[in-house]
Structure 1
């Protein structure tokens, strides 16, 4: 197929190719760019050009999907908005700070009332970041007992907070 034949196929089917690519890309302008790129990137000296219009439709389709992939990648890498987890927390109102301080005082009071082995296990696990295995080793108890201590302490604090309406 010569350059003139390829040009004739392109000219005769340009509108249909644009109409084919428009729903894929969501805009006629982008579809026109893809159809134009298909013609420029795949000249008649390409051996595959012998396949004719079917081949041209496949080229347009592949380029359209490549364009969509590129858009998605660019939107991910160039997003100026920070994700929710990266945004600074809004400053608490004085009322919220007061309530939070009261909750902390209540929890501290509840922790003071825990049996010593439960309190130590809870502090090591929740505040010091120790695993249950580390808690058990340091306290000289089994892992199951360390787990029971932490679970019992958390359950007691939670039930007291629920009862107090916190």
Structure 2
């Protein structure tokens, strides 16, 4: 088989110029033909050698087309990376929102109305006072009272 190595190398370089290491391909082909010879007689060793080399070359070229590796410096650069909250984070946030809702619902009616209009809807104190027919100072006091009571309610659950 060794006498055919130079001819095989030249044939591979001519037929598959894109091969990176034709010498390695020749050695692998020789090894495979030798293994085939150990299992039984080979009718045409030269034909088997060239066919094996051709198949190995085609496999290498096929692999190069299918698999391309692009080095990525940062995981955040990957297109599949999402900076979205995890399911556990979302569940915790939902639970905190539920507790906050209960805290607001536990307030007296007037205090709950004032706090909701001011903190949730963002209305100015003057507009809240006009809408509810109370003094601006009362709006300010009710917001402070509502915030303090909500903080106490949330503290019972270990929330800030």
Instruction: Judging by fraction of residues, say which structure has more helix.
Output: 1
TM-score (norm 1): 0.45
TM-score (norm 2): 0.46
